[in-house]
Structure 1
Amino acid sequence: MQDRSWTVLSLLDWGTEYFEQKEVRNPRFSIEWLLSHVLEVKRLDLYLLFERPLHSTELERLRPMVQRRGKHEPLQYITGRVDFFGIELSVASGVLIPRPETEELVEYILASHDNDAPKKLIDIGTGSGCIALAIKKERPNWEVWATDLSESALRVAQQNGKELGLQVHWFQDNLFAPELLRHHPELAHSCDILVSNPPYILNEEREALEREVREFEPEEALFCSSTHRMYSALVEHAKSLLLPHHSQMYFEVHEQYANEVQNISKDYGFTAEIRHDLAGKDRFVISTLTSTLSPS
C-alpha cells in the first residue's frame, strides 16, 4: 500500500490483486472483510461507497491488517471478532474459530428442546464459548455449564459471556482426567444434555489442511490421536454427568468417522443417529439415552 490517494474501490481492487499474488484464500472477500472492519460498515455497504476516500488514520489501521492477512493469518484473528448464531464473539490466537457447521449443531439442539421446560446443559471443550453462549441466549431459563482444558480459551469465553450479559458456569478441566465433579458434585447425573465439538482431525491429516488453519489455529483444539479415544472419553465423562434416563449427547464429528462415533455411543446404551450438515456430510451424532448408562 503505497502512499497515494485511495478510494474504497481502488483499495478493493488493489487488495484483491495483492491477496491473489500471496495465494490467500478468498482474496476479494478478505479485503472486503478488513476494509469494512476499519470503516465500521457492513461488508456489502462498501459497494455504496466506491468513491469514498480513505483518511490517513484509516490507512494506518488497515495496513498492518493487510500485511497479516498476506501471511495467511485468519481474518477472525486479525479483527478479533466473529459472528456466531446471531451473537458477536471475541476470538484470539489460541482459541478455535467457530465454524458454520457448529451453528448447525446448536440448531439441532434448539429444534429438539423448546423453551418451556428448564434444562441443564454442559458443553465440553467450549473454546470461545460459542455453543454455550448461543444456547444460553436462546434458552435463558436453562442452566449452562462449559469446560475447556485451555486457560486462555476460557478467559476469552468468560469475557464473551460478560460482554453479552449471559450467565454460564465456566470450569477449566481435562477431559482425560476430569476434576469437574470433585469440585461440583451437584452435577453428578443431573444434566439433560451434553454437547461437544472436540478435536477430531487426526494427526496424519495435518498437512492436508489449509495453511491458515494449520499454521495459526491451536493444535490442541484441532487434532486428536484417535477418534475412538476422544469420543470414548466423552461418553465416559457423560456417564457421570447425564441423567440416567432421556438425556442426550450432541457431538460434532469428522465426516469420515461418524459411524465409529455412532457405534461408541451405542455401546454405552444410547440410541444414536447420524445427521448431515448443509454440505451433505456426516457431521453430527445425536444420541439419546433410554436406559441406565453402562458399557456393553
Structure 2
Amino acid sequence: MKLKDIQYRFHEVLDADYGIEEVDSFFFMLIDFCFNVSRIQLAMDLDYQVKDTEKILEALQLLKEQKPVQYIIGETEFYGLTFKVNESVLIPRPETEELVECVIKQTDNNPAVNILDIGTGSGCIAISLAKNLENVKVYALDISEDALEMAKQNAKLNGVDVTFFKVDILNVDCIQHLKFDVIVSNPPYVREKEKPQMKPNVLEHEPHLALFVEDENPLLFYKAITDFAKVNLKEKGKLYFEINEFLGRSMITLLNDNNFKNIELKQDIFKKDRMIKGDKI
C-alpha cells in the first residue's frame, strides 16, 4: 500500500477533529515510528509502498479515539531529549521547557547546587536540569509509583543521575533533613471549572491526578510547596513554579506573604502568565 494513500486516509478520518497541519504532523511521526521512513524520504518517492499496515492503521483508530500520539508512540521530545511516556504521566509541554530554561539561566552551580523537582511525573524537569547543569545534585519526588517508574527509566535513557522519592507533598514525612538551593515544581493547577475548555485527548487520557485542583482551593499545592520551601530552601535559595495563567496575581501575593523576595512573574511564548520565581531571603 502506498504511504500517500495512507496519508489521504488520515486526512479523511481526522481532519475534522484536528485540522490539516496537525494530522500531517501525526502522519509523519507515525511513518517514522512504524516504518522508519522520514518525511523527506516520502517527498523524494511519492510512490513509496509498505506491506504491513496494521500498526499505522491501529494508530489511526487510536487518534480517532482522541488518544495522544505521544502515548501511541510511547515517547516524546522535551528540551532536546527523548522521554518515554504513558498514561501514568503528563505529556511534557513546550511551556515547561521555558521553565527549565529559566532555571538553567539563573542557576550558578559553583559551588555545587542541590535541586529538587516536586511532582516530577515523567522526570522531564529534573532530568533536563541534570543533563544541562554541571556540578548539581538533582532530587525529584512524586506521589505516583507508576510515574516514578517512568521517570527512573527516563533518567537511565538520558544518562543522568537523579535521586527519586515517593512522597506526598501535602503530607511530607521524609526528606525533611535535606536542604536545597533550588526547588522547582509544575504541580496540578487546572481548576475543575476549566475542564470544558480542555481538549478531549487531554481530558480522556492524561492523568487527572497531575492536572486538576478543586475550584475552592486552586493554590493547594503551591501553598504546601511554599511552606516546604520556607524550611528546606537554603538562604538565598530560589523557588520556581509553573502556574495557571489566571492566577499570577494570587501567586505573587502568596510568595510575598511568605517573605519571598525578588519575585518575577514571567509569560510564556503565548503571552500568558506561566512562570513565577521567588528568592528566600
TM bucket normalised to smaller: over 0.9
- Counterparts of 2:5 and 2:168 in 1: how far apart (Å)? 50
- Counterpart mapping for 1:112-151 below 5 A: 112-151=106-145
Counterpart check, 1:221 vs 2:210: yes
**Structure 1 residue 45: Cα displacement:** 4.9
The normalised TM-score by structure 2 is 0.93
Contact kept in structure 1, 2:239 and 2:277, CA below 8 Å = yes
Give the one of 237, 250, 256 matched to 1:266: 256
Change (3 A) 1:238 1:37: same
* Structural mapping, 1:1-296, within 5 Å: 6-21=1-16, 23-24=17-18, 26-43=22-39, 45-56=41-52, 59-181=53-175, 185=177, 187=178, 190-225=179-214, 226-243=217-234, 245-271=235-261, 272-290=263-281
Structure 1 residues 177 and 44: alpha-carbon distance in aligned structure 2, compared to 1, 3 A threshold: farther
* Aligned-residue identity in percent: 32
Offset of 1:42 from its aligned partner? 4.3
C-alpha root-mean-square deviation of aligned residues, in Å?
1.6
Residue 248 of structure 1 aligns with an amino acid whose one-letter code is: K
Q: 1:132 is paired with a residue of what secondary structure? A: helix
- Report the Cα offset of residue 49 of structure 1: 3.9
1:82·1:88 contact (CA, 8 Å) conserved in 2? yes
**Letter in structure 2 aligned against 1:258:** G
User: Could you report, residue by residue, the CA deviation over 1:240-293 in whole angstroms, capped at 9, with x for unpaired residues?
Assistant: 2100x2110110001110111111011111121200101111100111122xxx
Q: Separation in 2 of the partners of 1:36 and 1:13?
A: 17
Gaps of 5+ in 2: none
Per-residue CA deviation, residues 38-76 of structure 1 (Å, 9 max, x unaligned), is 1224455543342211122xx122121111111010011
Q: Distance in 2 between matches of 1:171 and 1:141?
A: 21
| Structure 1 residues 49 and 84: CA distance shift in structure 2, 3 A | farther
**Post-superposition CA distance 1:181-237 (Å, at most 9, x none):** 26xx2x0xx200000000100011112210000111000101012223221111011
Comparing 201-210 with 129-138, which one deviates more in the overlay?
Answer: 201-210
Change (3 A) 1:178 1:35: same
Q: Which amino acid aligns with 2:188?
A: P
SS in 2 for 1:263: helix
Say if 1:128 and 1:156, in contact at 8 Å, map to a contact too.
Answer: yes
Task: Tell me the amino acid that sits aligned with residue 48 of structure 2.
Answer: R
Q: 2: distance between equivalents of 1:116 and 1:50?
A: 54
Contact 1:133 1:168 in 2 (8 A): yes
Q: How many residue pairs were aligned?
A: 276
TM-score (norm 1): 0.89
The 8 Å contact of residues 265 and 276 in structure 2, kept in 1 or not, is answered as: yes
